Structure 1
Amino acid sequence: MKFYICREKAEPKPFKIAIIGAGPAGLTAAGYLACRGYEVHVYEKMPEGGGMVAFAIPEVRIPIKAVREGVKDLERLGVHFHFRTKVVYDSPRELGDEWAEHFVSLERLLSEFDALLIATGAWKPRKLKVPGVELPGVYDALTLLHHIKMARIGYYPWERVPDLKGRHVVIIGAGYTAVDVAIEARLLGAEKVTMAYRRSLEHSYAKTEIRKLISEGVEFIEYATPVRILGEKRAQGVEFAKTRIVEGSVVTTDERFILDADVVAYAIGQLPTSPIREVVCANEEILKEAGIFFAGDVVAPRNIGTAMREGRAKAKEIEEWLFNKAPRRVFPVPVTAKLISSVVNGKC
């Protein structure tokens, strides 16, 4: 997997850039900047690069071997990787933190580097807020996919993955994450897989992939939203309410139905996980003046191609900023830290 193709490496330039996060956006930016002659350091809490491409997307879609080859290309280009290293400012704990062995403060990076790109992705799943969601047998899709992929590539024992063989798996959602759960469930021997979505199939941006799954035997239910998970000691079913679309919005009706289920996985989106708390609330333009840029899922959900294109675009933006701003003289580190604090506290 090629994150960036460097035709000819430029002469070294007198700037250092730190990139937090080794997903598609961060890796593409790293490749562009290294090719242009900048010293680039990538900080990543996981044991290797790739982000969710490496640690959540099914192996049958993107093999880990291809991701590793892409990262090796960047190392040969001169990118410095700091794996198992988490950058912290006021970060909450999130998926994958157990792999971090080293911690670096955001303030330290601001003092050592001329510009900073935050590309930490969205590793926090949105919580399904219905009764019964805490029952055994109910999983958020991202954690489930992460555990399956980590087992497939040898980081986790298979005992950490729920046994899906012969089970009825009900998936709530219709995005790419939901599709990936359906793919893995079938590969792991699920007897039946049902996807339920509060809108129609035509509203899903993964409709092409879902149509393929339907042709392979996956059941797809439109206009349905969960109202509770049924069961006593573990999940045994899901009660859904029928929905309808009114002026573009989803409206829940009084009509109900129940699906039996052995395993329930909800894929209702992920939240950005930045070293700056609630960075989505901050004024991105003001932070840019301090040499702090953002790319990828940490801004908003992207597919892989879009994240890579944005990583390259942000790298070009960083390059332009470096030559126009004289960053160290514009915002000394203590001022930058205060700026971040004031922006975050004022907006969130």
Structure 2
Amino acid sequence: MGKVTGFMEFERIEEGYKPVPERLKHYKEFVIGLDDRQAKVQGARCMDCGTPFCNSGCPVNNIIPDFNDLVYRGDWKDAITVLHSTNNFPEFTGRICPAPCEAACTINVNGDAVGIKSIEHAIIDKAWAEGWVAPQPAKIKTGKKVAVVGSGPAGLAAAQQLARVGHDVTVFEKNSRIGGLLRYGIPDFKMEKSHIDRRVAQMEAEGVVFKTSTLIGTMPEGSKVTNDAKTVISADELKAQFDAVLLTGGSEQSRDLPVPGRDLDGIHFAMEFLPQQNKVNAGDKLKGQIMATGKHVIVIGGGDTGSDCVGTSNRHGAASVTQFEVMPQPPEEENKPLVWPYWPLKLRTSSSHEEGCMREFAISTKAFTGKGGKVTGLTTVQVEFKDGKLVEVAGTEKDYKADLVLLAMGFVNPVATVLEAFGVEKDGRGNAKAHTEFDNGYATNVPKVFAAGDMRRGQSLVVWAIREGRQAARSVDEFLMGYSDLPR
């Protein structure tokens, strides 16, 4: 370990934020990362536990005590080598992962966890600045061809792993730019898209071919999923052209709210609203962009997507922003002895909330109201748990003014047409049915077709997507070659 008494001597150091009035004027990142000295202090706090729960708390099993120690000792180049050994894209996770590793940190039992995420962020940013992130093309080609459908974190991680062991990999993306929900679902102020672009350049140098504006399967009728597809390739064509196909699309079917007035103008899914702003930031010209400027905005859904809608609405210059959550308000502090090392239920306030937002908990929307076909408000009621069910509290109905309503209640499953085009069997939730055991893991019922990421496990975290992409890559490699040297 770094400093034997470091966890007793040093306090946790949080990353900083630029002032709210300054950051609301733009869509660029505003987090102030740790400098070398601060990162060293955080690394010194790591206890190098005999059983480091942070490793298992991290879905990609980052070797956290090792890179913490290397940063403490100033060996940044070895630190990025250790970090890259388990995580293809730490610049993504270091920015947008909620850090379950920190919840599992042993110091977190009765103190403040090591700032693992901030150290990871510092390592990868330094690695890029120093030129340590370089293409790693395969020395020997296998002659095998793999199609990866979907260019989110699962698809990118799988593609990079497969290319590095010598396969010819082509990534197909229905949108005009690579990145999936990283590109179109995560606001630029949380993660600028230059981070994706330079990874794409690295992967192209490793031999990966990217084909954008290309839809695999059939175009969904009436789909509101953002895409710029100009080319459609059938599932049969793809299977004929490639030795293996890996489906890594996102869970893009948004959860709806079928209450009276849902058909009024001004009520949109979050994934209609957020991608538009990202496209405009990238220089695209859009007609009829959904704007929150001067409007009273209601965001229904209390998770990260809802928070992203809050931050974007504030940058538009909304008159007010209110966020609804149907569940009761969680405690401000978790009962650590009860929940550690698992992810705790507690009140989380995001940087977007701090920029201006009213938050309502234990509230359910009963109906939308409107005038001239446009939404003007909604009616709510308070809810509470009774006999294990959420029930309405009598006499608590309330009307809210709303010029724009954004539905951010999560995603139920991938767009069904992709799986149906391949004939992939679905599980009870509408996801691709594929187990994750090592023997033939991630394989679907269709020969040589695999599935990973949100398309297989459902809506989840970026770090889970990277894990699934890496593990699926090993299974595909094993299927093609009879063995695999890729990590599990």
* Fold match (TM-score > 0.5): yes
Partner of 1:284: 434
Cα separation, 2, equivalents of 1:185 and 1:82: 32
Partner of 1:229: 368
Cα separation, 1, equivalents of 2:386 and 2:478: 46
Cα separation, 2, equivalents of 1:156 and 1:303: 30
Q: How far is the alpha carbon of 1:26 from its aligned partner? A: 0.3
Cα separation, 2, equivalents of 1:162 and 1:301: 24
Partner of 2:242: 113
Cα separation, 1, equivalents of 2:471 and 2:221: 29
- Asked if 2 retains the 8 angstrom alpha-carbon contact of 1:3 and 1:31, the reply is no
Partner of 2:260: 131
Give SS of 2:256's match.
coil
Cα separation, 2, equivalents of 1:186 and 1:263: 13
- Cα 1:34–1:245 shift into 2, 3 Å: same
User: Any residues of structure 2 matched to 1:138-177 within 5 Å, and which?
Assistant: 138-157=267-286, 159-177=287-305
Paired residues in the alignment total 324
Q: Which moved more, 1:161-170 or 1:257-266?
A: 161-170
Partner of 2:409: 268
Greater relative contact order, per chain length (Cα 8 Å cut-off, separation 6+):
1
Say which of 377, 384, 405 aligns to 1:244: 384
Partner of 1:202: 330
Cα separation, 1, equivalents of 2:226 and 2:370: 31
- Asked if 2 retains the 8 angstrom alpha-carbon contact of 1:95 and 1:123, the reply is no
Q: Going by fraction, where is strand more abundant, 1 or 2? A: 1
Q: Is 1:103 matched with 2:232?
A: yes
Cα separation, 2, equivalents of 1:176 and 1:306: 16
User: Any residues of structure 2 matched to 1:286-305 within 5 Å, and which?
Assistant: 287=444, 290-299=447-456, 300-305=458-463
- Asked if 2 retains the 8 angstrom alpha-carbon contact of 1:295 and 1:310, the reply is yes
Q: Is 1:56 matched with 2:185?
A: yes
Cα separation, 2, equivalents of 1:99 and 1:268: 25
Cα separation, 2, equivalents of 1:177 and 1:302: 12
List per-residue Cα deviations over 1:109-132 (Å, max 9, x = no partner): 112212111011123322220111
Q: How far is the alpha carbon of 1:296 from its aligned partner? A: 1.7
- Cα 1:16–1:8 shift into 2, 3 Å: closer
- Asked if 2 retains the 8 angstrom alpha-carbon contact of 1:89 and 1:107, the reply is no
- Cα 1:62–1:98 shift into 2, 3 Å: closer
- Cα 1:69–1:321 shift into 2, 3 Å: same
- Asked if 2 retains the 8 angstrom alpha-carbon contact of 1:196 and 1:220, the reply is yes
- Asked if 2 retains the 8 angstrom alpha-carbon contact of 1:175 and 1:206, the reply is no
- Cα 1:322–1:93 shift into 2, 3 Å: farther
CA RMSD of aligned residues (A): 2.7
Q: Is 1:319 matched with 2:458?
A: no
Give SS of 2:330's match.
helix
Q: How far is the alpha carbon of 1:250 from its aligned partner? A: 2.7
Task: Report the AA paired with residue 415 of structure 2.
Answer: T
TM-score by length of 2: 0.61
- Asked if 2 retains the 8 angstrom alpha-carbon contact of 1:45 and 1:96, the reply is no
TM-score by length of 1: 0.84
Task: Report the AA paired with residue 257 of structure 1.
Answer: K
Cα separation, 2, equivalents of 1:116 and 1:304: 21
List per-residue Cα deviations over 1:291-338 (Å, max 9, x = no partner): 21112222201222221121111111211222349xxxxxxxxxxxxx
Where do 5+ consecutive residues of structure 2 fail to align? 1-86, 91-132, 332-342, 436-442, 484-488
Cα separation, 1, equivalents of 2:252 and 2:293: 27
Partner of 1:341: none
Cα separation, 2, equivalents of 1:283 and 1:2: 25
Identity %: 26
Partner of 2:140: 11
Q: Which moved more, 1:51-60 or 1:96-105?
A: 96-105
Give SS of 2:250's match.
coil
Q: Which moved more, 1:224-233 or 1:1-10?
A: 1-10
Task: Report the AA paired with residue 390 of structure 2.
Answer: V
- Asked if 2 retains the 8 angstrom alpha-carbon contact of 1:147 and 1:156, the reply is no
Partner of 2:355: 216
- Cα 1:312–1:139 shift into 2, 3 Å: same
Cα separation, 1, equivalents of 2:206 and 2:384: 53
Cα separation, 1, equivalents of 2:193 and 2:425: 30
Q: How far is the alpha carbon of 1:191 from its aligned partner? A: 2.1
Q: How far is the alpha carbon of 1:93 from its aligned partner? A: 5.3
